[in-house]
Amino acid sequence: MLATRPEKQNRVRQICKEHNAKPSALIEILHQVQDETGFLPKDALVDIADALNISRADIYGVVTFYHDFRQAPLAGIDLKICRAEACQAVGSQNLAEHAKANNHPFTDAYCLGNCALGPAVMIDKKLYGRVDADRLDQLLKQKGE
């Protein structure tokens, strides 16, 4: 993790340069910044807007539209439960209800690309298939929740 504001600003600018400072690369840039910092700090969004010569409103529109982007650090485990049709057909609704009832914070995901092995979940960027309530509890316990 970068320590000082100038280091962070330089890294954000470098990431933008790696994408030729093209506004069409905004989503890739946002993902890369978030991967490196854990979330999208407000000052990084300002730096991206400046580097790409687009408005801050455009940046915020993208960040707030897509559920994968975070403007604050995660508190704990990053759990996503697939809520797409294939996973719904094999029990993701019950899995989400179980997670909610057991105070497991999660984000709805609309397709994790693991349709044949639903219900699918992603925990800290690792994909798991055929997850029922018991397996979810085991996986979260292993992760330290």
CATH of 79-143, one of 3.40.30.10, 3.40.50.1390, 3.30.565.10, 3.40.50.460: 3.40.30.10
In the DSSP assignment, the letter for residue 102 is: T
Q: Could you report the average pLDDT of every consecutive run of 10 residues in the chain (145 residues)?
A: 78 96 97 93 96 96 90 89 97 97 92 96 96 97 81
**Residues of the chain with pLDDT > 70: what percent?**
97
Nearest alpha carbon to residue 82 among 57, 55, 116, 118: 118
pLDDT of residue 34: 94
Which pair of structure tokens corresponds to residue 62? 């993208």
Instruction: Specify whether the CB–CB gap between 92 and 60 falls below 8 A.
Output: no
The domain limits of the chain are 5-65, 79-143
pTM of the full structure: 0.68
Nearest CA to 41 out of 81, 77, 4, 89 is that of 4
